[in-house]
Amino acid sequence: MPVDRELPTPEAEHLLRLTREIADAELAPNAASYEREERFPREVFRLLGEAGLMGLPFGEDVGGGGQPYEVYLQVVEELAARWASVALGVSVHTLSCFPIDRFGTDAQRRDLLPDMVGGHLLGAYCLSEAHAGSDAAALRASARADGDGWTASGEKAWVTHGGQADFYSTFLRTPDDGEKGISCFHLTPDLAGFGAAPPEQKMGLTGSTTAAIRLDDVPVPADRLVGERGRGMGIALAALDSGRLGVSAVAVGLAQSALDLAVGYAVEREAFGRPIAQHQGVSFLLADMAAAVESARATYLVAARRKDAGKPYSRQASIAKLVATDAAMKVTTDAVQVLGGAGYTRDHPAERYMREAKVMQIFEGTNQIQRMVIGRHLTNAVVPPAG
């Protein structure tokens, strides 16, 4: 069932219509087979770039769509309803463009951003390492000052689009900047010593490649530093606030699909002489699923509207990520239940949705970490942190 949306402008309504048309024609028919074959749909990102959907929240001066986050996120949600891996890819690409857009020099913004936000190039965001996921500030891969530039070495783990991307927004320890010194770099695969490991074998989102990136004494030119040296962790966290909204939208789109599938099945499937939807046990389950989807959507929209209004939104972004991804896990699990035995087979996408939902509670900060962020906001508002 099409989602009834409150959009701010006729332009946004047109954009959502265009997104649905493209997603119905190009994403929905291919999702199941690509996921089954673990194929990365690079050409789909090119197509979305040509349609102007890869840089929606960035300024028109750098080739972006100039759209508010509330509109961009609803586009992501519509994509996710047809193919979660692709919607996640759009969200990660947006996250990867954020450091240069927000912290880059005029020259970086002018020379690099148009091809990035135009979708000619695909981005990746490299913060995590094998031993440093939740505790990202414990990262060890480093960049040492070397002549005019830097030499980067170490390994970044779990990189969405690893080995597929054209640029990597990468966070590396810069030891000369003190114990906490971390800096952000714009790395590209053409640099000598840059390599990708074979993709991870995942439970779900198998159309989205995830791989470690190896940096083997990579010479990095000075103009690849993004933002101030030593201040990279602030850039990483600011990017993650907006990225968590992207993940929220992906989770809501996925949950909406699971709900639609379950409703469609429940009105057709009969047991005890009537459609199962007419048994209260099933209709209450469907009602709870709908309530979870709609409240998760409302929660991410509240956070997005705060961001669009220039207000702080970090706490609301963590709440949105927590609420939306927990909702997606519950709704996709209940969709399998509504379909009964059929839900447990690969004849229907319910089991895939359930596998895809699980990782959303893990990446871009696990939901335990979101609770820590929310808790800190609450208590710091009452008791300011020491020091």
Nearer residue to ligand FAD within complex by CB, 169 or 174: 169
Is residue 251 close enough to count as binding ligand FAD by CB under 6 A? no
> Which string of DSSP letters, residue by residue, matches 191-234?
STTEEEPPPP--SS-TTS-EEEEEEEEEEE-GGGEESSTTBHHH
Interaction between residue 240 and ligand FAD (CB under 6 A):
no
126 contributes a contact to ligand FAD by CB under 6 A: yes
Single out the residue of 69, 150, 158, 313 in contact with ligand FAD (rule: CB under 6 A): 158
How many Å from the N-terminal Cα to the C-terminal Cα in the chain?
Answer: 53
From candidates 128, 169, 183, 206, binder to ligand FAD by CB under 6 A: 128
Q: Using CB under 6 A, pick the residue from 91, 160, 206, 316 that binds ligand FAD.
A: 160
Q: Checking DSSP bridges between strand 142-146 and strand 149-160, what pairing results, if any?
A: antiparallel
* β-strands 182-187, 167-173 pairing: antiparallel
Asked if 158 contacts 201 with a C-beta cutoff of 8 angstroms, the reply is no
The answer for residues whose C-beta is within 8 angstroms of residue 3's C-beta and 6 or more apart is 77, 78, 256, 297
Q: Is 366 in the site for ligand FAD (CB under 6 A)?
A: yes
The angle subtended at Cα 119 by Cα 189 and Cα 14, nearest 5°, is 165
Among 245, 363, 370, 374, binds ligand FAD (CB under 6 A): 363
364 assigned to active site: yes
Q: How far is the CB of 129 from ligand FAD (least distance, A)?
A: 8
Beta pairing class for 167-173 and 123-126: parallel
DSSP code for 142? E
Does residue 362 touch ligand FAD according to CB under 6 A? Answer: yes
Cα angle 62-68-73, degrees, rounded to a multiple of 5: 105
Nearest to 325 by CA among 254, 242, 243: 254
- Considering only 158-166, 295-303, 306-314, 332-340, which stretch makes contact with ligand FAD by CB under 6 A? 158-166
Residue 159 as a binder of ligand FAD (CB under 6 A): the answer is yes
- Nearest distance in Å: CB 132, ligand FAD: 7
Examine residue 134 and tell whether it contacts ligand FAD (CB under 6 A): yes
Determine contact, residues 279/271, Cβ cutoff 8 Å.
yes
CB of 43 to ligand FAD, least distance (A): 21
Contact stretch for ligand FAD (CB under 6 A) within 20-28, 119-127, 289-297, 329-337: 119-127
Site for ligand FAD in 14-73 (CB under 6 A): none
Residue 237 in the binding site for ligand FAD (CB under 6 A)? no
How far is it, in rounded angstroms, from Cα 162 to Cα 157? 9
Q: Which is nearer to ligand FAD, 67 or 361 (CB)?
A: 361
Judge contact between 97 and 55, C-beta under 8 A: yes
Which positions touch ligand FAD (CB under 6 A)?
Answer: 92, 125-128, 133-134, 158-160, 202, 205, 210, 359, 362-366, 368-369, 372
Active site residues: 364
